[in-house]
Amino acid sequence: MLDLPPGIERSDDPALLRQKSRDFYWYSPVLKRQLDGKRGDLWVRPRDEDEVLAVLRACRAARVPVTVRGGATGNYGQCVPLAGGVILDTTALTAPLGIVDGVLEAESGAKLIDLDTYARERGWELRLWPSTKRTATIGGFVAGGGAGVGGLSHGTLRERGNLLGVRVATLEETPRLLDLEGDAAAPVNRTYGTTGVITRVRLPLTPAQAWRDVALGFPTLEGALRFASALSFCDGIPKKMIGVMDARLPPFFRGLAEAVPAGQALVLTMVAPSGLVALRDLLREHGGAWLAEQDAVAAERDPDATPYYEYCWNHTTLQVLKKDRTVTYLQCRFPFEGTVEAVLEIAARFPDEVWMHTECVRFGGRTTMSGLPVIRFTTEERLTEIMAGFEAAGCGIANPHVYTIEEGSNYRRVPGDQLGFKRAVDPLGLFNPGKMASFTPG
């Protein structure tokens, strides 16, 4: 039995537990088979750090697992409890705590859109956000994601300097709060809540821009890719995002499909107003067409509108899944040299099963494309063959059909001794058991 102090919000209602034990793992037919039916035994929602510590003390004393849950938009079952126990929901920890010298500090359950609004009111904006900005929390982005819109200028959350610090609650014999700064915060960066409950996050911001969403059409995928690549290297055009979709994808984009002529490949970009003239010039050079444009900042604050980033990143697959449940997706990084050629090689190798979708990004100061292609799913064996085909063309795969940190990807791992940190802060292995495969309880 858990000895929880009264006053902490909680529920053991079976329907609620079912709902609170899920995320977006169902994108993957493999994870769906493995994770359907897994659930926690008690849902709790602490209001402050004292309540977080009280929950952890009770769980530690009773040796009950703790799975942290933010917005629950993760794609790999990161917040699905594999061994039951407590689901610790962070969504009542929502306060922005302040901005000093362009650095935002916030409680971990704050939604990214709310933090961006708070920053914008003070002349700043987030450097990076996932396409789930309107529903995901900052703690979940640090612990479970890390790439997305803004990555073309700032890389990912793994780049040194993009995550400045965290406060984390432990499951030591006496649970406590630790403040980790700079490199010392790496052990909680993308570790799926296996290394503590993040209660606060410190992130650097960037000056706010009045971004314009722009949709551009091209007669061929190659034309769209070559334009996107050229734009990604145009240092004179301030931009936050460049996504490329082959002609099969735009018809699934409710609210935008009508603007895209049949058979056209699509580029979606977010460009600052000062870059629009140069964007038109570049477009003319590449023989593309200006299809549609909107105020990106207004769109993301209007519940009836769709900011273009909700057609990009991992939203592309969601837009297709809304109409066709027979597809899934992959995540990969194309080579830094010969990027466009590698994308075209893959597209030619799997003409029917791979519906190409790439996003321009920077890794370690070098620009390339990440791929999040939609895949026509047949069998798990065929999915494995397709991934091998990507690797043969020089692409790094971040397998989205596995739920452990280690199996997911090599190029997404954050440097640092996460296993050693876990042994120190969670010696019994109660945080999200099963997700850090290399850990065995001492």
Binding site for ligand FAD (CB under 6 A): 23-24, 67-75, 78-79, 90, 108, 130-132, 136-137, 139-141, 143-148, 192-193, 197-198, 313-315, 318, 432
Nearer of residues 79 and 299 to ligand FAD, judged by Cβ: 79
**Burial classification of residue 415, based on how many CB atoms lie within 10 Å of its CB (0-12 exposed, 13-18 middle, 19 or more buried):** exposed
Closer residue to ligand FAD, CB minimum distance, 157 or 344:
157
Q: Give least dist CB 285 to ligand FAD, A.
A: 29
423 Ramachandran zone, left/alpha/beta (phi>0; psi -120 to 50): alpha
Long-range contacts of 418-424 (CB under 8 A, 24+ apart): 418/186, 418/187, 418/191, 418/194, 418/195, 420/187, 421/187, 421/188, 421/195, 422/187, 422/191, 422/194, 422/195, 424/172
Q: Compute the half-sphere exposure of residue 377: CA atoms within 13 Å on the CB side of its CA.
A: 18
Give me the least distance between CB of 328 and ligand FAD, in Å please: 13
Rounded Cα gap, residues 100 and 200, in angstroms: 15
How far is residue 174's CA from residue 230's CA, in Å, rounded to a whole number? 55
Q: Which residue has the tokens 């984009």?
A: 253
C-alpha span between 280 and 165 (Å, rounded): 40
Q: Which is nearer to ligand FAD, 189 or 229 (CB)?
A: 189
Closest distance of CB 338 from ligand FAD, Å: 25
**Amino acid at residue number 145:** G
Closer residue to ligand FAD, CB minimum distance, 126 or 393: 126
Closer to ligand FAD by CB, 31 or 393: give it.
31
CB of 236 to ligand FAD, least distance (A): 26
Shortest distance, position 91 Cβ to ligand FAD, whole Å: 8
Q: How far is the CB of 216 from ligand FAD (least distance, A)?
A: 20
User: CB of 193: closest distance to ligand FAD in angstroms?
Assistant: 3
Q: By C-beta, is 74 or 307 nearer to ligand FAD?
A: 74
> Smaller CB distance to ligand FAD: residue 28 or 432?
432
Residue 202 or residue 315: which is nearer to ligand FAD going by CB? 315
Distance in Å, CB of 368 to ligand FAD, minimum? 16
Six-digit token string for 345 = 């090689």
Cβ neighbours of residue 86 closer than 8 Å, sequence gap 6 or more: 2, 40, 41, 42, 43, 44, 55, 59, 64, 65, 66, 67
For residue 76, give the amino acid letter: Y
Q: CA-CA-CA-CA torsion for 347, 353, 358, 362, nearest 10 degrees?
A: -80
Cα torsion 253, 258, 264, 267: sign: negative
At closest approach, how far in Å is the CB of 89 from ligand FAD? 9
What tokens appear for 197 in the block?
Answer: 């409950």
The answer to whether 189 touches 169, Cβ cutoff 8 Å, is: no
Question: Is the CB of 221 or the CB of 425 nearer to ligand FAD?
Answer: 425
Residues 166-200 as b or e (16 or more Cβ within 10 Å = b): bbbbbbbeebebbebeeeebbbbbbbbbbbbbbbb
CB of 210 to ligand FAD, least distance (A): 22
**Cβ-based nearer residue to ligand FAD, 17 or 79:** 79
